[in-house]
Each structure stands twice: as C-alpha cells, then as structure tokens.
Amino acid sequence: MRRGHGIGKTVADAIRLVAGRGVEGDAHLGETVKHRSRVRRDPTQPNLRQVHLIHGELHDELAAAGFSGLRPGQMGENVTTAGIDLLGLPAGTRLRLGDEAVVEVTGLRNPCTQLDKIQPGLMKATLGRDPEGAVIRKAGVMALVVCDGEVRAGDSIVVELPAGERRALQPV
C-alpha cells in the first residue's frame, strides 16, 4: 500500500478492500479515476483501476530476462497471484480473494514509463507482440472491488468466469 502517488507499494501482510472504492489507504482509492493523467482528461470517469493484480510468474519472467531484485508491489500491484492466467481472463471475471473480498476484472494494465524508474528497460520488458504483431500487455490486470474484505498473503483465489459471451481484456 502507498498513500501518495508513485509506482511502488509497501508489502503488507494484509490489505482491506472497500466495495466500489478500492484498497483502503491506497492513492487510487475512490469511485472516480485517481490516475493523475486520467484525472487531467476527465476527473468524473469511473475508477476501473481500483485494484492492480500481477501474476507472480511475471516476476520470474523478468528475472530470467535480467531484471534482478524485483519484488511484489514494486510495479504498483496491490495483489500478486500465482498459478492464475490473469492476462487470459475475460472482462467481467470475478476473483474471490480469501473469505470475503470479491473483485471484478475490468481490463489490462497499460504499462507506463514509471516502470523504467525501477530499472531501465522494464516498461519494454512488460510488453510483447503476438504472431500477428499486436501488442501484448503483460503488466497485470485492473479490477473493481465488488465485495469488501480483508485479503491476506497466501489467501486462496477462486476464479468465477462471466456467463454469456466472453470479451477479451482491453487496456483500461
């Protein structure tokens, strides 16, 4: 968690999710957008980026590419997962985090140049290309908080796919 704007979050044993608002104490907490560049464009936009989740496997991939010393929270994520294909989830997927908290995936995180302040070249390393040349964003997903709850390190995560037609994640 981090009170002011900036890229890194402090690792905590637990965080509190607040329905419709985000992570208690986080700079992005709120019903309307808090990301500074988005606030400048339109401060009344809904906050689709209340919780940032990154798959821990990205840390492994980046370490193998020479980005040493990356740790959970450093790239701005509130929750680090393991064993879940976050990037492959459809929009509207709900994730039950622990006993109470539920978030709904809204889209992909669009990596920004702040990542290069952590280590030069990190932003580019969180981007890729598919066989057709389309950009692949690997810096995690964003979500809305649907149900309040405390999330602790090591809590289980249950994936609930949306009913009906499934929409691929887009940057939010």
CATH code where residue 22 lies: 2.40.33.20
Q: Is the pTM here over 0.85, yes or no?
A: yes
Mean of pLDDT over the chain: 94
State the pLDDT confidence band at 36, using cuts at 50, 70 and 90. Answer: confident
Structure confidence by residue, pLDDT tens digits, 120-164: 999 999 999 999 999 999 999 999 999 999 999 999 999 999 999
User: Is 166 inside any structural domain?
Assistant: no
In a domain, 6, yes or no: no
| Residue 30 belongs to domain spanning | 14-160
User: What percent of the chain lies above the pLDDT cut of 90?
Assistant: 87
Contact 116, 101 (CB under 8 A): no
Q: What is the pLDDT of residue 6?
A: 62
Q: What is the pLDDT of residue 33?
A: 92
- The count of domains in the chain is 1
- Decide if 135 is inside a domain: yes
Residue 41: inside a domain, yes or no? yes
| Domain membership flag for residue 167 | no
HSE-up of 95 (CA within 13 Å, CB side)?
27
- Report if residue 114 sits inside a domain: yes
Cα 138 to Cα 159: distance, rounded to the nearest angstrom: 19
Q: Is residue 170 part of a domain?
A: no
